[in-house]
A and B are shown apart, each in its own frame.
Chain A
Amino acid sequence: MKQAVREAFISKILLLTALSSIGALTLITVFIFAEGLPVIFKTGFFDFIFGMKWKPSRGIFSIFPMIAGSFAVMAGAMLVSVPFALCCSIYLAEFAGRTTRAIVKPAIELLAGIPSVVYGFIGVTVLVPFIKNNIGGNGFSVLGCSIVLGIMVLPTITSISYDALRAVPDSYREGALALGATRWQAVKMAVVPAAGSGIIAAVILGMGRAIGETMAVIMIAGNSLIIPLSPLDPVRTLTSNIALEMGYASGMHRQALFATGVILFVIIMALNILATRVIKRAVR
């Protein structure tokens, strides 16, 4: 009897702990939306999102250049990382020997453990001058940002697509090989398509990471409030906008930064939900 009471008590405690994470999510959501929505309504939803001018001193808050910036940087990062991550995961999952895998996989995962400020620092000291001297512009650019972000999301995309590829039953490989396919033909025709939705989910999650990254982006992107028309243009993202101005913002301005956060929140939520959907479809 006593034991049953203790069991029930422990399970309640565990339930509470589990609920607390949902609680935190709810609180954060409510807080961001409560702080941010008034500005969006005041400016008008359409003007807030599609307007060009962000002039806190004059009370004009429109964030289109930053949305464009965030998407430009994210797209660039995907261009850099997806081919690498795909090749890498295919190699690791299908071709690498046990020893190679044991060395390369942890090494890639270690990339995720490097603090983003270190990426930013390397970007500023190495990449930015390199772009400035060899390609053009002042170096602080979408291009630099894309390369650094691309490397930063590499572990996410690689390890999730690796898992997706490993989850493909051996029968697919053997089925293709038994038909006289070479190793690569089997991978191309049977394994990768079968892991397709897992790989897409990996890319979507990588997008989420790229769009949410702040520190490295602030350091390399240049942070100008323009719509980037060339890879060499400087750019400001949604995240850097918040981080750069939060320190001194007050009143309306502060609320407008929360509103920026609302948009960011919605984008990242949408990407995560999309990824979960895709993964679920794969399981079925």
Chain B
Amino acid sequence: MKEFMDTNLNKNNMSETNLSAAKVRFDNFSVSFLPDKPGGAIVEALSGINLSVGDKKILSVIGPSRSGKTSLLRSVNRLNDLHPNFVPGGDILIDGAPVYASSNIDITALRRKAGMVFARPVILPLSIYENIAYGPRLAGNNSKPSLDELVESALKDAYVWEEVKDRLQSPAASLSGGQRQRLCIARVLSMRPDIIMLDEPTSALDPVSTAKIEETLIALKSKYCIILVTNNVKQAARVGDKTAFFLMGRLIEHDDTSKIFTTPRDERTENYITGRFG
């Protein structure tokens, strides 16, 4: 509760200094991976990233492979911590609160606040209902009526309710790829996050399912801050309010999506979005 108030306080302070638009702010953030063996080379996945993501906005992150897009996402909810050689630099601020600088941060709470959807839908070997209820249950919610309501609203928000409402108890593995991915989005929503991060969520899906996911994202924008990493440049253009172009671990350009796609300032951005490389 105290933390919550602190965050609110921060928010107010920030708005006074006119930075309130930033839900997530990368502050000179960098990611490197130490070598596996002594004498190996340090891999710099990201360096000196300064980037703000506004609330109720979609940021599309584009760039060729190994440009650091995924590292960027996985740093926000500290999933990179799983990597033994991971070293962060600078910091990420969520609602003004540092993710790395504060030593007593509750990582579990952070991961609930910043939900993540992966490229390959991760289905737990449970029923559809239990897949959604899993997150809230972990958070200590075991009341049936409350879970029922959460599951229903999450599935509705993810636009998959109509397709699964009659078979909530059947195994989630029986769903199609596109339905699974929307189930994963619903699962993230069930934890009432502030931020939704998606790592190439449609890379394994057919065009129809992709269109449904994009529709879902645009509808969700009114409530959440969304960061969408995508390999599909057109998808970035369709969905993002802002677009950030990454190359070799550096942020090359960040602007309104319309500007990036009509009048990019950097030649490399132009080359990438016109499909000349990557």
Contact = CB atoms under 8 A, between A and B. Distances in A.
Interface in A130-181: 169, 171-181
Interface of A: 97-98, 169, 171-182, 185, 189-190, 193-194, 196
Given A176-B124, A190-B124, A181 B118 contact: no
B118 A171 contact: yes
5 contacts: A178-B111, A178-B118, A179-B115, A182-B108, A196-B125
B191 A193 contact: no
B62 interface: no
B125 A180 contact: no
A180 B118 contact: no
Contact of B108 (A171, A174, A180, A193): A180
B122 A172 contact: yes
B138 A181 contact: yes
Interface of B: 77, 79, 82, 84, 108-109, 111-112, 115-116, 118, 120, 122, 124-126, 134-135, 138-139, 184, 187-188, 191
Given A171-B122, A190-B124, A178 B138 contact: no
A169 B124 CA distance: 13
Most buried by B among A173, A175, A178, A189: A178
Given A176-B124, A178-B115, A189-B126, 15 more contacts: A97-B84, A173-B82, A175-B118, A175-B122, A175-B124, A177-B79, A177-B111, A178-B77, A179-B112, A179-B135, A180-B112, A180-B139, A180-B191, A181-B108, A190-B122
Nearest to A194: B125
Contacts, number: 59
B120 A171 contact: yes
Most buried by B among A98, A179, A189: A179
Contacts of B108: 180-182
Contacts of A97: 84
Contacts of B188: 179
A69 to B, nearest CB: 38
B79 A179 contact: no
Contacts of B115: 178-179
A190 B115 CA distance: 17
A13 B23 CA distance: 69
B201 to A, nearest CB: 13
B141 to A, nearest CB: 12
Contacts of A174: 79, 82, 116, 118, 122
B138 A179 contact: yes
Contacts of B124: 175-176, 189-190, 193
Most buried by B among A171, A175, A176: A175
B79 A180 contact: no
A281 to B, nearest CB: 13
A190 B131 CA distance: 11
Nearest to B120: A171
A178 B79 contact: yes
Given A98-B84, A174-B79, A174-B82, A180 B135 contact: yes
A177 B122 contact: no
A93 to B, nearest CB: 14
A172 B134 CA distance: 14
Nearest to B122: A175
Contact of A180 (B84, B122, B126, B138): B138
A181 B118 CA distance: 16
A159 to B, nearest CB: 23
Given A180-B138, A180-B139, A193 B82 contact: no
Contacts of A185: 138
A98 B36 CA distance: 11
A-B pairs, top 3 by smallest CB distance, nearest first, are A175-B122, A178-B116, A193-B125
Contacts of A179: 111-112, 115, 134-135, 138, 187-188, 191
Contacts of B84: 97-98
Contacts of B135: 179-180
A174 B126 CA distance: 17
A196 B126 CA distance: 13
Contact of B134 (A182, A189, A196): A189
Contacts of A190: 122, 124-125
A190 B191 CA distance: 18
B105 to A, nearest CB: 13
